[in-house]
Structure 1
């Protein structure tokens, strides 16, 4: 089975992840690109031997397109993804699912009405180290999980974005809404939910714009750092830190403390997954390093999305799961409270 896919938004996430992964998937025939900047869309169409659409409407009304990647900026996810679903397209939407839980609910309602697949790109679930760690935890090889700590930080989206500029939309409150919490933090919230088969129910956090400035030299409108304390429904306690000001090597590490030992994930470049037992036995798992901005590898997200469509499977990251993580981010920034 082969079909066409469409992509809304032609920034770095499309150029380095969605487009090449669609291109490598044998079930994808052609990629059709749309961006508000036609030249940007045409550039990717040329690079990936695809074509362009002149408008979102043209993309969504194209009967040859079965699936859509919504890679637009955060503030319009609920618009594009909702329209795509109601136009009969399966949708993979970038995280966060929306800029409010209310908008996310609109997307979930469109999913219910359409009967189409909705998947959210929380890609950390797909790494071999995280999947192996989940297996160890689920089998209680180290007993019960007691506490955890996780972090995600790098030098900032102005270094990664397509324009390489401090004018990036990530720094604008009306476009990104949640700053580093919605860019990096929500990945780790989803990861903790996934690893522990649990859900964060209480959050205390500090956040601020500590160093980043916009194109005018003014402090950015959203947070560039968050430090938080978390409690899950099953009583696990943890900490989480997210940053756009880790100006050294990217930090994407997670530690899970259990009754019989510790699971260390992505703490160094040599051993992605290490288990340290209480008797000081050390087990190192031979799995690949995580995908980073400087190390682009196949994330597995696109393949999983296509597999869901072809084989009528439930997406491995559902809209409801993405909404649960979004509510934690809202609570973390004091923009809302978690509603169970």
Structure 2
């Protein structure tokens, strides 16, 4: 038995990720699109054979819609996701959950009040290489994790966003709030928490707008680069770099240094996970290409979201976990 889903916000993330993945899921009958710009929602409704809600209220009051993806811009998540939960819908919210921890906590209250499921789109957890890495860490195959370094960078949202221009909302302080930190950084903070079964508790960071300019040719109001040193609750030490100015290939790599060897994730395009053991042996896993802005493959997020609704399971990425990552981003920006 299928049901309908709604999507709030009809930009690139909806067109390339959410809509096609809902269409491919056997439980989903139809997608209902809402955007403040009705032409955008009409375009996607045509492309994916769905229909349009002219007002947000129409989407939220539609009894055929069981679940909603909130793909609005960052500053609107706490409004849209809260309304959707209180309207009795399960919600998959794009990251970051909100622009501040305080707003995010209000969303969690709405989730508890509604009894509905809230999941965050931290899609890095779902890749085969990261799943395999977690299994190796959990089984202590290389002993304990000691240190780590992670990076996420590409040439910037203006090359991927719906308008393909530097007028993108990602560059606006009042809409994006956290720049590259909330766009790319939060993914890797969540990933480190997930892989290490740990939480970052201390942060030293530098951030700045080094190269990007807005449509007026002025430096952007949010950071385009972050470099940080991190310490976890369990005492692990690491570094993290996030960038919108990697003007070459996208870099989404992570290295985990353990007592008995090193784990390299997404360093080599042919072997997505490489284990270099202390005894000199090397194991290469050829698992899958990671999804990039140029290589759109299924993230597995939508299937996991629908699965937790259909089988009444706890979402694989919870609101509390999202707040833990958001707290780190807040600390990075406060430095």
TM-score bracket relative to the smaller structure:
over 0.9
Cα deviation for residue 285 of structure 1 reads 1.2
Cα deviation for residue 286 of structure 1 reads 2.3
The TM-score, its normalising length taken from structure 1, stands at 0.98
What SS does the corresponding residue of 1:217 show, helix, strand or coil?
coil
Quote the Cα distance in structure 2 between the aligned partners of 1:124 and 1:231.
21
Does residue 33 of structure 1 match 2:37? Answer: no
- Aligned twin of 1:118: 118
- Aligned twin of 1:235: 235
Does residue 18 of structure 1 match 2:27? Answer: no
What SS does the corresponding residue of 2:328 show, helix, strand or coil?
helix
What SS does the corresponding residue of 2:252 show, helix, strand or coil?
coil
Cα deviation for residue 289 of structure 1 reads 1.2
Cα deviation for residue 268 of structure 1 reads 1.8
- Aligned twin of 1:325: 325
Quote the Cα distance in structure 2 between the aligned partners of 1:292 and 1:47.
22
List per-residue Cα deviations over 1:246-293 (Å, max 9, x = no partner).
000000000000000000000021110000001110001120011000
List per-residue Cα deviations over 1:269-319 (Å, max 9, x = no partner).
111000000111000112001100000000000000000000000000000
Unaligned runs of 5+ residues in structure 1 are 336-340
**1:141-156 equivalence runs, <5 A:** 141-156=141-156
Unaligned runs of 5+ residues in structure 2 are none
CA contact (8 A) 2:270 2:286 kept: no
**For the aligned residues, what is the CA RMSD?**
0.6
Quote the Cα distance in structure 2 between the aligned partners of 1:292 and 1:57.
34
What SS does the corresponding residue of 1:57 show, helix, strand or coil?
helix
Equivalent pairs counted in the alignment come to: 335
Does residue 262 of structure 1 match 2:262? Answer: yes
Compare 282-291 and 250-259 and name the one that shifted more: 282-291
What SS does the corresponding residue of 1:66 show, helix, strand or coil?
strand
Does residue 106 of structure 1 match 2:106? Answer: yes
Quote the Cα distance in structure 2 between the aligned partners of 1:133 and 1:333.
29
Cα deviation for residue 326 of structure 1 reads 0.1
List 4+ stretches of structure 1 deviating above 4 A.
none
Quote the Cα distance in structure 2 between the aligned partners of 1:52 and 1:273.
42
The TM-score, its normalising length taken from structure 2, stands at 1.00
Quote the Cα distance in structure 1 between the aligned partners of 2:303 and 2:43.
24
